[in-house]
Amino acid sequence: MKNKNSSTTAKQNFPSIPFEDQVNDDQRKYSRYVCDSRAIPHEIDGLKPVQRRILWAMWNSDARNRYTKTVKVAGLAMGYHPHGDASIQGALSQMAQNFTFANNIPLVSGEGTFGDVLDPSAIASPRYTEVKLSDFVKDLGFFESLPDIDYVKNYDETEDEPIHFVGKVPVVLLNNIQGIATGFRCFIPGHKLSDIINSQLAYLKTGKPKKITPWYKDYKGEIRLYVNDNGSHIMTTGFAFTWEDDTLYLTDAPMNWNREKVVTHLDDIIERKDNWLKDYVDYSSQTFRVELIFKKGEKPSEKEIKELFSKENNETLAYNVITHEGKLRNFQPDEIIKRFCDFRKKHLIRRFKRLAGLEREKIERNSELIRFIKERWNEKVTEIKSKKEFEEKLQKAKFIYFEWLSTIPVYRMTLDEVRKCEEAIVEAKTKYTEYTTLTKDDKKLTEFMSVELEELKTKWDPK
């Protein structure tokens, strides 16, 4: 027989939430989940979760240094990413794209067909393409930071994965990033590596970053920025042309204009017959190169060319990022650079404290080994019956690394070994002092960051 009192009590304890409030709460949670887990990049490493998991899977496989089938790498990444293989393969292929409006400097190196500016979607099947980590992503320092970053369990709690990497520059500003979430979106344009680094250097030196503007590799057209009536920041890209003697070529199209769209536009212009354009010859191969044939005696001026090809692509900029505190925020590029540099300083302090600790341990270990040899413990061991008894005697003699010392082979018990230990101690003390200074002296730490940024710029964007 049911207990009516207990049933009534259960109903009273059950939370009473209006249906509308419950739906709104679920919608907010789902919206935030999509932002965090799919669509919005992290401010520190500039990656969405699928991209980070791809790089992590590549680092832990042959794809670290050797070209590997794209489909295989995608399969490895599925161990961390709880979504379908098609989304992983698509993200991986886009990370390897190396043309205008894709990546200024790809983090993944690809072999095979990954599309081009004429048709970005013309990507070969992942069965036929291969990828590996690019040299740039290694020089960027993502994988130098691994011992000094935080990790979480993957979706099935079988392996660890990074919350985010830490590079030398804010990658979120380097390559074009687009994402659409529920209620939020991001469109972060690409910027020139040297401009980003120069802005960082200015901030480290003066406390004020240099202003940077969008830039795309190999794009020779004009990029304009303006604020519309709603207060939104708009980026505009258009056509670009070049004269070779008396021959006019179209060399660039606006963002999101593929070859088909450009050809259709040219056909529409010619069909109107109210302008100087008579015909065109398309020589495009991987990049735009379309000869524009003008009517006899109607060589167009720069103004007439711009008037005829006035169509542009407008993108509303939205610098939405997930912060290292785990919040969804909108920052302008200068604020992103400030926050990144401040975070990297804290990260480097954490790294140098760890390295100083390792050097201190080297000093202690080598000092104890010298004492161990000089006190002739190799002779005392003949009187000891077991390893455990030996460790107890070493511990009683106030050796810290007694377990390690109990495994030292007899052939190392020489004066030559003592000399090597003394040299190692001198080297370790030098490094310990260096690392300790970097954790305490902000000026020295700033100099260290400036040097590594200059080296990165010299190698990857010297102009």
Whether 212 is in a domain gets the answer no
Q: Is residue 25 part of a domain?
A: no
Judgement on whether residues 450 and 434 belong to the same structural domain of the protein:
yes
Q: Is residue 13 part of a domain?
A: no
Q: What average pLDDT does the segment 62-78 reach?
A: 95
109 with 159, same domain: the answer is yes
Q: Is residue 72 part of a domain?
A: yes
**β-strand 290-294 against 277-282: which pairing, if any?**
antiparallel
Out of 43-47, 97-101, 201-205, 296-300, least confident range? 296-300
Cβ contact 104:216 at 8 Å: yes
Active-site hit among 30, 33, 67, 128? 128
Residue the block writes with tokens 């711009």 = 306
User: Domain ends where: 290, 311, 332?
Assistant: 311
Token pair 């390897």 is found at: 96
Dump pLDDT digits (tens) for 386-396. 888 889 989 99
**1: pLDDT confidence band, cut at 50, 70 and 90?**
very low
Statement to judge: residues 302 and 445 lie in one domain: no
Three-state SS at 347 = helix
Q: Tell me, what CATH number does 140's domain have?
A: 3.90.199.10
103 shares its domain with 189? yes
Query: How many whole angstroms separate alpha carbon 400 and alpha carbon 378?
Result: 18
pLDDT (tens digit per residue) in 164-173:
999 999 999 9
Give residue 410's pLDDT.
82
Domain match, 332 and 367 both: no
E strands within 283-406? 290-294, 313-316, 320-322, 328-330
> Which residues neighbour 364 within 8 Å (Cβ) at sequence distance 6 or greater?
400, 401
Longest C-alpha distance within the chain, in Å?
A: 109
User: Does 408 have pLDDT greater than 90?
Assistant: no
**pLDDT value at position 147?**
94
58 plus 144 within the same structural domain: yes
More confident residue, 182 or 139: 139
Each residue of 213-271: pLDDT tens digit? Answer: 999 999 999 999 999 999 999 999 999 999 999 999 999 999 999 999 999 999 999 99
| Whether residues 42 and 96 fall in one domain | yes
The dihedral over CA atoms of 382, 388, 389, 395, expressed in degrees to the nearest 10, equals 110
Tell whether 2 is covered by a domain.
no
In total, how many domains does the chain have?
A: 3
CB atoms closer than 10 angstroms to residue 61: 17
> Stretch 345-365: mean pLDDT, rounded?
97
How far is residue 292's CA from residue 280's CA, in Å, rounded to a whole number? 5
Alpha-carbon torsion, ordered 199, 200, 204, 210, to 10 deg: 10
Does residue 274 belong to any structural domain of this protein?
yes
Q: Is residue 258 located within the same domain as residue 132?
A: no
Q: What is the mean pLDDT of residues 273-298?
A: 94
- Do 332 and 376 share a domain, yes or no? no
Assess if residue 11 is contained within a domain: no
157 with 83, same domain: the answer is yes
Domain match, 36 and 168 both: yes
The most confident of the ranges 142-146, 328-332, 404-408, 446-450 is 446-450
pLDDT, average across residues 45-54? 94
* Same domain assignment for residues 200 and 248: no
Q: What is the Cα gyration radius of the chain?
A: 30
Number of residues that make up the chain: 463
Percent of all residues in the chain with a pLDDT value above 90, rounded to a whole number: 78
Query: Is the pLDDT confidence value at 37 over 70?
Result: no
In a domain, residue 42? The reply is: yes
What pLDDT is attached to residue 12? Answer: 58
Query: Does position 27 have pLDDT exceeding 60, yes or no?
Result: no
Q: Would you say residue 79 has pLDDT above 80?
A: yes
Q: What SS3 class is residue 282?
A: strand
383: containing domain: 348-460
Q: For this structure, is 283 an active site residue? A: no
Q: What is the mean pLDDT of the chain?
A: 91
